Structure 1
Amino acid sequence: MAAWLTALERLARSRAKAGLTRELRPRPADDDVVDLAGNDYLGLARHPEVVAAAATALSAYGLGATGSRLVRGSTEAHAELESDLAGWLGAEQALVYSSGYLANLGAVRALADKHTLVVSDAYNHASLIDGCKMSGAETVVAPHGDSAAVAAVLDAAPGRPALVVTESVFSVDGDLAPLAALHEVTSARGALLLVDDAHALGVLGPQGAGGVAAAGLSGAPDVVVTATLSKSLGGAGGLIAGPRQIVRHLVDTGRTFIYDTALPPAVAAGAHAALRIAREAGDRRALLAARAEQTVRRLGAAGFAVRRPAGAVLSVTAPGPEAALAWAADCRDRGIAVGCFRPPSTPDGSSRLRLTLSAGVSDVDFARALDVIVECAP
């Protein structure tokens, strides 16, 4: 065996010993597992109107976009989706990407360069972390959710171009960033605030417009929002929303936009239908809030330390990576899918089960899922 393959085998054995091996588990279309692992918060991925819109666009446009957005990949489906996304978020303009990961890379790279000071929350998603690295900017990692620490970093570099990067609802533990306080810090010092609203869009704010809207920051000229179409909207893709100047800059210079094949039109049309439903889905958001309370009560009564989540994602600490794997596997064997988060996916090095709540799960199945999680605990 070639030396480099031997080295990879050695690394794989080390990961296996540490309980950090990952596996692909293809699921059938008729999978009957109760899903508390996926991100279909509002239960729209299979909504008849969403599926019908996607099917109509699939018939009209074909399977793919056939090119990047600046070549042949921009369609009326993309333009209509972007217009309604901007209106929903209260932004001047929005730009759709083929994934949320690429949107985050593109946003950070557009707003930061080697002259910029970036302040990044310690619990930020990997896509934001990678964007900071790729930008070439000096990046300071601030303690999680600490606006005073962010202010101190900015005050130590007065007059320097600065960007503060955070999620709204954090993807591992489901807590909410102090967005209003962070904006007070950034606006007073002339810095920009970039917020990844992926786990709040559709769940928080007026008409589900997200954490930025909930904090009263919609349309602020010094706030840029990113999000995905793959969570509450049940589709795929990402977005960046903000002042028209940022969208113009991204179209002209953004490498993750210019050189990437566009989101398939059928997916854009399906996400657009989901957006229209999500805006009026107050009943589904109320159900998510009630289930968050139910989860905290049930797991708390069983002795688990679980915090009330800001949105629809929460975590339960496991003794270690192998215990987390076994816990998730036991739940899966009993028909319940839960997330299993281990290093390096967890910012503090602790392993967890992550539960994502969905309005698409029945009351009976949801209650049974909580019972199984408790019964399978290590």
Structure 2
Amino acid sequence: MTSKALNSFLNDNIADLKERGLYNEIDPVQGPNGPEIKIGDRTLINLSSNNYLGLATEDRLKQVAKQAVDSHGVGAGAVRTINGTLDLHLELEKKLAAFKGTEAVISYQSGFNCNMAAISAVMDKHDAILSDELNHASIIDGCRLSRAKIIRFNHSDMDDLRKKAKEAVESGQYNKIMVITDGVFSMDGDIAKLPEIVDIAEEFDLITYVDDAHGSGVLGKGAGTVKHFGLQDKVDFQMGTLSKAIGVIGGYVAGKANLIDWLKVRSRPFLFSTAVSPADAAASTKAVEILMESTELNEKLWENGNYLKAGLKQLGFDIGNSETPITPCIIGDENATQTFSRRLNEEGVYAKSIVFPTVPRGTGRVRNMPTAAHTKEMLDKAIAIYEKVGKELGVI
């Protein structure tokens, strides 16, 4: 017999979410998550995947993943600190350090795990964290876990950051102060003002932390936001994911050797969770090698992103101020956003609605993620469908 209180809580709140257009329906994909996907018996143009470079379905990655299963098995078998660190994990970390231009790298099971692990391993209740108000949920949760004082600054507002950094330093309350930001903000596609942030950090001796989940593979010819600005030697923590542009699963933190040594002995997901599988480690290494050898996929991503942006903007859609291939179409009302996404789906485009709490109330949008794997024909078809649905619903 289940709890009546639990059932009442769940049923009431699920019904409330559905009524307000905030309930998320999950659509299982049959087959690979490529530029087109199959849901049920329908094939749709896929504009909702983080698979920026098309590597999730790349034959070269599949080949090395299969080889790793044959040579190392399907699982790592233990946490990294016992005997779950395989030679494949070390190869991945060495390759990532070269790619990011840092002394060392530690890899984790996911990007979310990175932020939960690294922030709380360095910051504690005697410290403060200056956090951009639009930072990702994993940053917010990592900051909370650290028990440090969280001081939010207005989004990419350098005057507000400087003011709050000065106040925090002059208060004398904190042993250490960190400034933390996304490199690329995933809902709007804008880029953090890293040169200004680094200047403020140097002025006030702040620890710098950049979550580059949506910048790795995208900016800096693929090497990320920090390298885009040439700041590898000025940023203490470079967090990245292996689950988006790299096309596999996992995450990592890049930085000085002594930082990585500390994270290996003090970050809890590294200490208490089994390592990623041999296949994942090998495939991730291969993906990084591909990006280091050629910028072809990165260039194609930007070409497709700019093409889709121009097409939607010409039609009159509000695509915000994105500086990256991420292309939001901002609708506003949550129910209207859900309807818009549903009609796109019915016409042949899979572009998922994003509503509160992922974005602020009243700023619902359909977020488009063009990739290097899309063809011009796919994008033209998607733009035509956007035009049809946009006019039908009075959005344009």
2:54·2:245 contact (CA, 8 Å) conserved in 1?
A: yes
Q: Secondary structure at the match of 1:328?
A: helix
| 1:336 CA displacement | 1.7
Q: 1:4 aligns with which of 3, 6, 10?
A: 6
Shift of 1:287: 2.2
User: 1:213, 1:95 → 2: CA distance?
Assistant: 18
Q: Is the 8 A contact 1:123 1:347 kept in 2?
A: no
1:29-67, CA deviations, whole angstroms, 9 ceiling, x for partnerless residues? Answer: 163432210111111111111110111111222222122
**Alignment partner, residue 252 of structure 1:** 265
Point out the more displaced range, 175-184 or 322-331: 322-331
Question: Alpha carbons of 1:370 and 1:73: their partners in 2 closer, same or farther (altered >3 Å)?
Answer: farther
Write out per-residue CA displacement over residues 334-373 of structure 1, whole angstroms, 9 at most, x where no aligned residue: 3322132110001465111111110011111122112212
**Where do residues 66-85 of structure 1 align in structure 2 (5 Å cutoff)?**
66-85=77-96
Percent identical across equivalent pairs? Answer: 30
Determine the C-alpha separation between the residues in 1 that align with 2:361 and 2:11.
27
Establish whether residue 241 from structure 1 lines up as the match of residue 254 from structure 2. yes
Q: Distance in 1 between matches of 2:325 and 2:76?
A: 32
The correspondence for 1:194, drawn from 190, 203, 209, is 209
CA contact (8 A) 2:51 2:246 kept: yes
**Please, which of 127, 136, 150 is the counterpart of residue 147 of structure 2?**
136
Instruction: Determine whether 1:52 maps to 2:63.
Output: yes
In the alignment, residue 303 of structure 2 is paired with which amino acid?
A: A
Aligned to 2:35: none
For the 8 Å contact 1:317–1:350, the answer to whether it is kept is yes
**Alignment equivalent of 1:29, drawn from 28, 31, 34:** 31
* Structure 2 unpaired stretches of 5+: 33-37
Structure 1: give runs of 5+ residues left out of the alignment. Answer: none
Give the partner amino acid of 2:186: S
Alignment of 1:162 onto 2:177: yes
> Does the CA contact (< 8 Å) of 1:293 and 1:308 recur in 2?
no
Preserved CA contact (<8 Å) 2:333 2:362: no
Residue 347 of structure 2 is matched in structure 1 by 334
Task: Report which structure shows greater RCO (CA 8 Å, sep ≥6).
Answer: 1
Q: Aligned residue for 1:40?
A: 51
Counting only pairs closer than 5 Å after superposition, residues 100-249 of structure 1 correspond to structure 2 as 100-158=111-169, 160=174, 161-205=176-220, 207-220=221-234, 222-249=235-262
Q: Which among 326, 331, 334 is matched to residue 313 of structure 1?
A: 326
Secondary structure, aligned partner of 2:22: coil
Aligned-residue CA RMSD (Å):
1.6
* Corresponding residue number in structure 2 for 1:290: 303
Q: Which amino acid is the alignment partner of residue 294 of structure 1?
A: Y
Q: Distance in 1 between matches of 2:27 and 2:309?
A: 29
After superposition, the Cα gap between the structure-2 partners of 1:298 and 1:24, relative to the gap in structure 1 and judged at 3 Å, is: same
Out of 323-332 and 259-268, give the one that drifted further: 323-332
**Aligned partners of 1:349, 1:51: CA distance in 2, in Å?**
42
The AA in structure 1 aligned to 2:23 is T
Contact 2:301–2:370 (Cα < 8 Å) also in 1: yes
Asked if 1 retains the 8 angstrom alpha-carbon contact of 2:308 and 2:379, the reply is: no
Q: Distance in 2 between matches of 1:155 and 1:172?
A: 29
Relative to structure 2, which stretch is displaced further, 303-312 or 264-273? 303-312
**Whole-Å separation in 1 of the counterparts to 2:106 and 2:31:** 31
May I ask how many residue pairs the two structures share in their alignment? 376
Q: Which residue of 274, 286, 291 corresponds with 1:261?
A: 274
